[in-house]
Amino acid sequence: MQTELIFASLSGIETELLAVLAADSQTAKGPDAKPSPVLLANDEAVKAAAAAVLASGEFKAGANETLLLHAPAGLKAKRLLIVGLGKVAKATAHSARSAAGTAVRFTKPRGIRELVLALPVADTLPGAASARAVAEGAVVGDFDADTYRSDRKDVSVQKFALAAPDSTDRKAVEAAFAEGVIVGESQNFARTLVNEPGNKLTPTVLGQRAAEMAQEVGLQWEVHSTEKLHELKMGAFWSVSQGSEEPPALIVLKYQPEGVKEGPVLGLVGKGITFDTGGISIKPADNMEKMKYDMAGGAAMLGAMRAIALLKPKVRVIGIVCAAENMPDGKAQKPGDVQTAMSGKTIEIINTDAEGRLVLADGLAYAKQLGATHLIDAATLTGACVVALGMVNAGAFSNDDATFAKFDGALKVSGEKFWRLPLGDEYMDMIKSDIGDIKNTGGRYGGAITAAEFLHAFAEETPWIHLDIAGVAWIEDSKPYIAKGPSGIAVRSILEWVRSY
Dist. CA 42–CA 433, nearest whole Å: 66
Cα 66 versus chain centre, distance: 26
H helix or E strand, kind and range, residue 326: strand 316-326
Question: What angle, rounded to 10 degrees, do the helices at 296-311 and 170-195 form?
Answer: 150
Close Cβ partners of 200 (under 8 Å, ≥ 6 residues apart)? none
What is the C-alpha separation between 439 and 462, in angstroms, rounded? 21
Q: What are phi and psi of 460, to 5 degrees?
A: 55, -130
**Could you confirm whether 420 is annotated as catalytic?**
no
Q: What is the 3-state secondary structure (H, E, C) of 253-266?
A: EEECCCCCCCCCEE
Question: Which listed residue (47, 283, 479, 484) is catalytic?
Answer: 283
Please state the separation of Cα 199 from the chain's center in Å. 23
- Cα–Cα distance, 412 to 423 (Å, whole number): 24
Q: Please enumerate in sequence order all residues whose Cβ is within 8 A of that of 174, keeping only pairs 6 or more positions apart, or say none.
A: 5
Give CA–CA dist 345/435, Å, rounded: 12
How far is Cα 350 from Cα 246, in angstroms, rounded to an integer? 24
DSSP state of 361: H
Please, what is the end-to-end C-alpha distance for the chain in angstroms?
A: 32
Decide if 380 contacts 297 (C-beta within 8 A): yes
DSSP result, 294-316: GGHHHHHHHHHHHHHHHH--SSE
Q: Of 87, 108, 345, 357, which one is the catalytic site residue?
A: 357
**283 is a catalytic site residue:** yes
Cα–Cα distances (Å) from 189 to 37, 134, 196, in that order, read 36, 18, 11
Report residue 388 CA to chain centroid gap.
Answer: 20
Enzyme catalytic residues: 283, 357
